[in-house]
Structure 1
Amino acid sequence: MSLLLALLIAAAPQRELKVCADPNNLPFSNKAGEGFENKLVDIIAKDLDAKVTYVWWAQRRGNVRETLNAGLCDLIPGVGPTLEMLGTTRPYYRSTYVSVVRAGRGLDIASFDDPRLKTSRIGVQLVGDDGANSPPAHALARRGITGNVRGYMIYGDYGAPAPQEEIVRAVADGEVDVAFVWGPVAGYFAQRQKVPLTLTPVTPAFDGPQLPMLFDVSAGIRKADRSLKREVEEILLRRAPEIRALLLSYGLPVPTP
């Protein structure tokens, strides 16, 4: 290699990977880089030999249009693979809603048809400021179980360091007997409570044809950026064992591949 070529290579700017992520959304991401999506981004960036630059944006309705599709970033982790406004990658994990109860109380509940739900205090996640309901909330309402149900906003108190923890903490504190929670949130925060909690995947995976409890999760890339999508998908496939180990370390209930 000539000296000139070596100098040109040394002077070449490092590749930059701009990532849109929520600054306060554990276990997924935060500004301190403590979320599993932060760690996933690190894996991708290392493989690309790229420097990560974050564009911090609260994960709210319209955030994809206002960030990725507005050209502010190149990638958003943690999106549904069927999101039509994006060029989504192959899923890098699948998880499910779970029931969360205090361990040792004999209240392990897997089905929305469990008769004990009629007399239990139940917590469910509500999605968005408009009070839209999560799949478990719809499943309970279909069975007429509403009077003993308490809703917890997914976004919670955004001024708190872990806004999504509230519903899991409510089980640990005895505010509710059972809560139906998205698996990654339940698994991560259950490990951090003062009492042991038991997580049970809800069954069946589909409560009727239009109400899934099991979801795939992908990374989002602009539709036109086919080259980056191809690169990221190759990394997700090549580093799959490492990524699975990462997810399990955060307590995510992920099915065995």
Structure 2
Amino acid sequence: MSVHVVAFAAAVFMTIASAVATGVAAQSITAAAPDQEAQYFDDELDDLDEPRRAYRVQSPAEPNRHDRVQNPAELTAEEAAAIYNDLADDLAATYALSGDPVTAGYRDWQRFNAAPYKSMTHGRRYVNNYANEIAARYGRYEAAGRLPVGSVVAKDSFVVTDDGATGPGPLFVMEKMAESFNYVTGDWRYSMISATGELLGRTNGQGADRVEFCISCHLAVEDQDHLFFVPEEARLAPGP
């Protein structure tokens, strides 16, 4: 057999072998695809079985958030307290225009911060943390545990810019509702009342989409009953 014939036969063999290998690889890829797809849908079903997890997964990469104060002032505790004392009555009166019963008496509740503090998660506004008597354990902070039905936490707010301008901010409210009210929120109802006294949004109610970002944010502390607490440098001593 000539050298040319041998070379030709070898080339044919390599071509056939390559085609067979390619076909096998293609079959392997095709066979793997349904398994990968099945795993994908299994993962999706897992999320549906865990609504809180699914809520986080479905949240956009850049979730809605509170409008930010572009040039917030840096205040001492004394300065923040003095400004709040001037604004507090007007804040409460304006929130009351919404008709929400929380607005009528929240300032008579226990306040858990020594002075207003700037909250980055509330648009860099200065805020205060109030809680009603049912929510007294809120004052234990991270040791509070799960608060009972009827607990209400209210956070009023105001704006101070670096040029000295001041103004009202929204009232943020969390109310612990009966079991099964909303699994994703841990049965908390979020409400936001504007600086002009309008109910902007409420979980399972009017404008619910406007408080969805509250849910997303508080899911980060699901293990402490969805509650954030006053920063350590601004909080009062823990309660009993």
Q: Which TM-score applies when normalising by structure 2?
A: 0.27
Structure ID, larger Rg: 2
RCO comparison, higher one (Cα < 8 Å, 6+): 1
Q: Which TM-score applies when normalising by structure 1?
A: 0.25
